[in-house]
Amino acid sequence: MNQIELELYKKGYDYIIGVDEVGRGSLFGDVVACAVILPKYFCVLDVKDSKKLSPKKREYLNKVIINYCIDYSLCTIDSQIIDEINIKQATRLAMKNAVNSLIERSKVSTDKIVAIVDAEKLDINIDQVSLNHADDLIHHVSCASIVAKVYRDNLCHEWDMIYPQYKLYKNKGYGTAEHIELINKYGASDMHRKTFLKNIMRSR
Protein backbone atom coordinates (compact mmCIF):
# COMPACT_ATOMS: atom_id res chain seq x y z
CA MET A 1 0.00 0.00 0.00
CA ASN A 2 1.28 3.45 -0.95
CA GLN A 3 2.27 6.00 1.69
CA ILE A 4 -0.44 8.34 0.39
CA GLU A 5 -3.12 5.77 1.20
CA LEU A 6 -1.70 5.16 4.69
CA GLU A 7 -1.63 8.90 5.38
CA LEU A 8 -5.26 9.25 4.32
CA TYR A 9 -6.26 6.54 6.79
CA LYS A 10 -4.25 8.30 9.51
CA LYS A 11 -6.14 11.52 8.76
CA GLY A 12 -9.39 9.80 9.72
CA TYR A 13 -10.79 8.49 6.45
CA ASP A 14 -12.40 5.07 6.82
CA TYR A 15 -12.78 4.44 3.11
CA ILE A 16 -10.71 5.14 0.00
CA ILE A 17 -12.26 4.92 -3.46
CA GLY A 18 -9.85 4.14 -6.27
CA VAL A 19 -10.95 5.56 -9.62
CA ASP A 20 -9.54 4.81 -13.07
CA GLU A 21 -10.58 4.50 -16.71
CA VAL A 22 -9.78 2.22 -19.62
CA GLY A 23 -10.20 2.86 -23.33
CA ARG A 24 -9.39 6.55 -23.39
CA GLY A 25 -7.08 6.22 -26.40
CA SER A 26 -9.13 3.64 -28.28
CA LEU A 27 -10.54 4.41 -31.73
CA PHE A 28 -13.58 2.23 -31.13
CA GLY A 29 -16.31 1.85 -28.54
CA ASP A 30 -16.89 2.98 -25.01
CA VAL A 31 -14.58 4.46 -22.44
CA VAL A 32 -15.03 2.55 -19.16
CA ALA A 33 -14.49 3.89 -15.64
CA CYS A 34 -14.36 1.90 -12.43
CA ALA A 35 -14.63 3.04 -8.81
CA VAL A 36 -13.77 0.53 -6.08
CA ILE A 37 -13.71 0.55 -2.27
CA LEU A 38 -11.51 -1.93 -0.43
CA PRO A 39 -11.68 -2.82 3.27
CA LYS A 40 -9.45 -0.58 5.38
CA TYR A 41 -5.75 -1.51 5.06
CA PHE A 42 -6.65 -4.42 2.78
CA CYS A 43 -4.25 -5.27 -0.06
CA VAL A 44 -4.47 -7.68 -2.96
CA LEU A 45 -1.12 -9.30 -3.68
CA ASP A 46 0.49 -8.72 -7.11
CA VAL A 47 -1.81 -5.82 -8.03
CA LYS A 48 -0.26 -3.23 -10.32
CA ASP A 49 -1.31 -1.08 -13.27
CA SER A 50 -3.48 -3.32 -15.46
CA LYS A 51 -1.34 -2.56 -18.53
CA LYS A 52 1.62 -4.29 -16.82
CA LEU A 53 -0.23 -7.56 -16.23
CA SER A 54 -0.87 -10.50 -18.51
CA PRO A 55 -4.51 -11.16 -19.49
CA LYS A 56 -4.52 -14.34 -17.39
CA LYS A 57 -3.19 -12.50 -14.33
CA ARG A 58 -5.70 -9.67 -14.80
CA GLU A 59 -8.57 -12.14 -14.94
CA TYR A 60 -7.42 -13.80 -11.73
CA LEU A 61 -6.90 -10.50 -9.87
CA ASN A 62 -10.21 -9.17 -11.13
CA LYS A 63 -12.01 -12.07 -9.45
CA VAL A 64 -10.09 -11.53 -6.20
CA ILE A 65 -10.81 -7.78 -6.17
CA ILE A 66 -14.53 -8.25 -6.88
CA ASN A 67 -14.81 -10.97 -4.23
CA TYR A 68 -13.04 -9.05 -1.46
CA CYS A 69 -13.83 -5.39 -2.11
CA ILE A 70 -16.58 -3.65 -0.15
CA ASP A 71 -18.18 -2.65 -3.44
CA TYR A 72 -17.37 -1.43 -6.94
CA SER A 73 -19.11 0.39 -9.76
CA LEU A 74 -18.54 0.54 -13.51
CA CYS A 75 -19.71 3.23 -15.91
CA THR A 76 -19.45 3.34 -19.70
CA ILE A 77 -19.71 6.30 -22.08
CA ASP A 78 -20.28 5.40 -25.71
CA SER A 79 -18.54 6.63 -28.84
CA GLN A 80 -21.37 8.97 -29.88
CA ILE A 81 -21.15 10.91 -26.62
CA ILE A 82 -17.35 10.88 -26.81
CA ASP A 83 -17.60 12.51 -30.23
CA GLU A 84 -20.10 15.06 -28.91
CA ILE A 85 -18.31 16.22 -25.75
CA ASN A 86 -14.69 15.05 -26.39
CA ILE A 87 -12.79 12.22 -24.72
CA LYS A 88 -11.55 14.21 -21.73
CA GLN A 89 -15.06 15.28 -20.72
CA ALA A 90 -16.41 11.78 -21.44
CA THR A 91 -13.72 10.26 -19.23
CA ARG A 92 -14.55 12.65 -16.39
CA LEU A 93 -18.25 11.91 -16.78
CA ALA A 94 -17.67 8.15 -16.65
CA MET A 95 -15.50 8.53 -13.53
CA LYS A 96 -17.99 10.86 -11.84
CA ASN A 97 -20.92 8.54 -12.55
CA ALA A 98 -18.97 5.51 -11.29
CA VAL A 99 -18.11 7.29 -8.02
CA ASN A 100 -21.62 8.63 -7.44
CA SER A 101 -23.20 5.25 -8.19
CA LEU A 102 -20.81 3.54 -5.78
CA ILE A 103 -21.48 5.99 -2.96
CA GLU A 104 -25.24 5.80 -3.43
CA ARG A 105 -25.27 2.01 -3.52
CA SER A 106 -22.78 1.45 -0.72
CA LYS A 107 -24.44 3.86 1.74
CA VAL A 108 -21.04 4.80 3.23
CA SER A 109 -20.59 8.01 5.19
CA THR A 110 -19.38 10.70 2.80
CA ASP A 111 -17.43 12.56 5.50
CA LYS A 112 -15.27 9.46 6.07
CA ILE A 113 -14.49 8.75 2.43
CA VAL A 114 -11.96 10.08 -0.09
CA ALA A 115 -11.47 9.30 -3.78
CA ILE A 116 -8.05 8.93 -5.39
CA VAL A 117 -8.44 9.64 -9.09
CA ASP A 118 -5.98 8.89 -11.86
CA ALA A 119 -4.98 12.21 -13.44
CA GLU A 120 -8.41 13.90 -13.35
CA LYS A 121 -10.27 16.31 -11.06
CA LEU A 122 -13.93 15.35 -10.74
CA ASP A 123 -17.10 17.26 -9.93
CA ILE A 124 -18.05 15.09 -6.94
CA ASN A 125 -19.27 15.88 -3.43
CA ILE A 126 -16.56 14.04 -1.51
CA ASP A 127 -12.89 14.77 -0.87
CA GLN A 128 -10.55 13.69 -3.63
CA VAL A 129 -6.90 13.42 -4.53
CA SER A 130 -5.90 13.71 -8.19
CA LEU A 131 -2.58 12.06 -8.99
CA ASN A 132 -0.79 11.41 -12.25
CA HIS A 133 0.14 7.74 -12.75
CA ALA A 134 -2.09 6.80 -9.81
CA ASP A 135 -2.93 3.55 -11.64
CA ASP A 136 0.70 2.53 -11.14
CA LEU A 137 1.34 4.13 -7.73
CA ILE A 138 -1.87 3.72 -5.71
CA HIS A 139 -3.16 0.26 -4.78
CA HIS A 140 -6.84 1.24 -4.84
CA VAL A 141 -6.50 2.83 -8.28
CA SER A 142 -4.58 -0.16 -9.63
CA CYS A 143 -7.47 -2.35 -8.49
CA ALA A 144 -9.93 -0.08 -10.30
CA SER A 145 -7.80 -0.21 -13.45
CA ILE A 146 -7.82 -4.01 -13.42
CA VAL A 147 -11.60 -4.28 -13.00
CA ALA A 148 -12.18 -1.69 -15.73
CA LYS A 149 -9.70 -3.35 -18.11
CA VAL A 150 -11.19 -6.84 -17.74
CA TYR A 151 -14.69 -5.47 -18.20
CA ARG A 152 -13.77 -3.53 -21.35
CA ASP A 153 -11.77 -6.41 -22.81
CA ASN A 154 -14.86 -8.59 -22.43
CA LEU A 155 -16.90 -5.92 -24.19
CA CYS A 156 -14.35 -5.98 -27.03
CA HIS A 157 -14.92 -9.71 -27.49
CA GLU A 158 -18.66 -9.08 -27.68
CA TRP A 159 -18.15 -6.23 -30.15
CA ASP A 160 -15.88 -8.46 -32.22
CA MET A 161 -18.79 -10.82 -32.86
CA ILE A 162 -20.76 -7.89 -34.31
CA TYR A 163 -17.86 -6.30 -36.22
CA PRO A 164 -15.45 -9.19 -36.97
CA GLN A 165 -13.78 -7.33 -39.83
CA TYR A 166 -11.89 -5.04 -37.40
CA LYS A 167 -10.31 -7.82 -35.27
CA LEU A 168 -11.35 -6.12 -32.04
CA TYR A 169 -10.59 -9.27 -30.05
CA LYS A 170 -6.97 -8.58 -30.90
CA ASN A 171 -6.52 -4.80 -30.96
CA LYS A 172 -9.22 -3.91 -28.36
CA GLY A 173 -10.15 -0.96 -30.57
CA TYR A 174 -6.77 0.76 -30.34
CA GLY A 175 -5.03 2.29 -33.33
CA THR A 176 -2.69 -0.51 -34.33
CA ALA A 177 -1.38 -0.46 -37.89
CA GLU A 178 -3.60 -3.43 -38.72
CA HIS A 179 -6.71 -1.82 -37.23
CA ILE A 180 -6.10 1.42 -39.16
CA GLU A 181 -5.64 -0.58 -42.35
CA LEU A 182 -8.93 -2.39 -41.72
CA ILE A 183 -10.75 0.90 -41.09
CA ASN A 184 -9.46 2.19 -44.41
CA LYS A 185 -10.46 -1.06 -46.11
CA TYR A 186 -13.99 -1.40 -44.70
CA GLY A 187 -14.75 2.15 -43.57
CA ALA A 188 -15.64 3.21 -40.05
CA SER A 189 -18.42 1.45 -38.15
CA ASP A 190 -21.11 3.24 -36.17
CA MET A 191 -19.12 2.48 -33.01
CA HIS A 192 -15.87 4.06 -34.15
CA ARG A 193 -15.04 7.45 -32.66
CA LYS A 194 -15.28 9.67 -35.72
CA THR A 195 -13.36 12.53 -34.10
CA PHE A 196 -10.42 10.15 -33.62
CA LEU A 197 -10.32 9.10 -37.28
CA LYS A 198 -9.88 12.41 -39.07
CA ASN A 199 -6.15 12.03 -39.60
CA ILE A 200 -6.00 8.32 -40.32
CA MET A 201 -8.76 7.63 -42.85
CA ARG A 202 -7.92 7.77 -46.51
CA SER A 203 -10.49 9.17 -48.89
CA ARG A 204 -12.58 6.30 -50.25
pLDDT in tens, 57-85: 999 999 999 999 999 999 999 999 999 99
pLDDT band at 203 (very low <50, low <70, confident <90, very high): low
Q: Structure pTM? A: 0.95
- What is the Rg, in whole angstroms, of the alpha carbon atoms belonging to the chain? 18
The residue ranges of every structural domain in the chain are: 3-153
What does DSSP say about strands 15-22 and 31-37: parallel, antiparallel, or unpaired? antiparallel
| Average of per-residue pLDDT across 11-24 | 96
3-153 domain in CATH 3.30.420.10?
yes
Are 174 and 26 a contacting pair, CB within 8 Å? yes
Q: Which residues contact 118 (CB under 8 A, 6 or more apart)?
A: 19, 20, 21, 131, 132, 133, 134, 135, 141, 144, 145
Q: Is the pLDDT of residue 202 over 80?
A: no
Q: Is the pLDDT of residue 204 over 60?
A: no
What does DSSP say about strands 15-22 and 113-118: parallel, antiparallel, or unpaired? parallel
C-alpha torsion sign, points 151, 156, 159, 161: negative
Taking only the tens place, the pLDDT of each residue in 143-171 is 999 999 999 999 999 999 999 999 999 99
In angstroms, how far is CA 38 from the centroid of its own chain? 17
The beta strands (E) that lie in 38-152 are given as 71-77, 113-118, 127-131
